[in-house]
Structure 1
Amino acid sequence: MEIKREIWNYLISEENIPEQYKPITMWGYLGYQIVFSIPIIGWIILLVFAFSKDENINIQNSARSYIIFLIMSIVLYFIIL
C-alpha cells in the first residue's frame, strides 16, 4: 500500500506535469482577466490565448470561457434593449 502511495505522489508531483497542463494560481487567473478586459489589445491577446494550440490548457479554457461570457453579455444587452 505504501509503495502505491509513493508512486502516486511521484506521478502527480508538479515537476512531472507537462508545462501545457500545469495549474494556474488564483492570482494568475486574476491577472489574465485584467489583461483580457483591456480594450483592443486585451481582446487580441484573448483570441491568441483562446485559439493557440501551444498555450497552457488552463489559460486556453479560461480565455474561451471569457469569450463566451462576452458573447452572452452582448446578446443579453441587445435583448434587453
Structure 2
Amino acid sequence: MYYPFVRKALFQLDPERAHEFTFQQLRRITGTPLEALVRQKVPTKPVTCMGLTFKNPLGLAAGLDKDGECIDALGADGVWFP
C-alpha cells in the first residue's frame, strides 16, 4: 500500500540520509499504536547453515543498525539474526 511511495522517496535521497531518516522513523513509532499498522508479519522459513539455524534465509547487513538503536524493532520483523 505505502511501500511503492516510500521506496521511491527514499531512493531519491543520499543513502546515508535515507538510513538516518528510516531509523528516525523506526525510533519514533516503536512502542506506539502506529507500529502495529506498519508492521508486517514475516512468515518463518528456517534455514540451517554450518550448524546454525536461522528463522529466515534473508537477514539484514551487520552495519545496518550501526549504533544498536533499533534492535528490537528489526528483530520483531523477523529479519534480524540476534
TM-score bracket, normalised by the shorter chain, equals 0.3 to 0.5
Give TM-score, length-normalised by structure 1: 0.32
- Work out which of the two has the higher radius of gyration on C-alpha atoms and give 1 or 2: 1
Higher relative strand content: 2
Higher relative helix content: 1
Give TM-score, length-normalised by structure 2: 0.32
